Amino acid sequence: MDKIYVTGMEFWGYHGVFPEENKLGQRFRADVTLNVSLKKAGKTDNLDYSVNYADIYNACKIVMEGEPVKLIETLAEKISASILGSFLSVQSCTVKIIKPDPPIPGHYDFVAIEITRERGE
């Protein structure tokens, strides 16, 4: 299966378990990998047979900048459901949510989760 990568997307959201996260907000990053056949797009040079990267970004933005949730796992589930529900040519997707600078004493890099979901699950 062919792949489309949309990586390094950055958003501001109010997600988290702690009240400060919900009040102050923080940066989040997302990477998405789509498994989709790109053969017809490559042969015809026609975007109609691919997936528009801007549309994927917007699907992620709606979730990431939308209603606050406690867990980044929930964000990943919502994004994968949106992509699989909206882009019928996508057979499966992998969504990675990165939380830079998590509120963990002594931890200054990031935490992340990654899920893969397939059409029909």
Taking only the tens of pLDDT, the chain with its 121 residues reads 899 999 999 999 999 999 999 999 999 999 999 999 999 999 999 999 999 999 999 999 999 999 999 999 999 999 999 999 999 999 999 999 999 988 778 877 889 999 999 998 7
Domain count, the chain: 1
| Whole-angstrom distance, CA of residue 104 vs CA of residue 93 | 29
Catalytic residue among 43, 70, 96, 99: 99
State pTM to two decimals. Answer: 0.94
Domain that holds residue 32: 3-118
| Known catalytic membership, residue 99 | yes
- Residue 40: CATH number of its domain: 3.30.1130.10
Question: Residue type for 118, please?
Answer: E
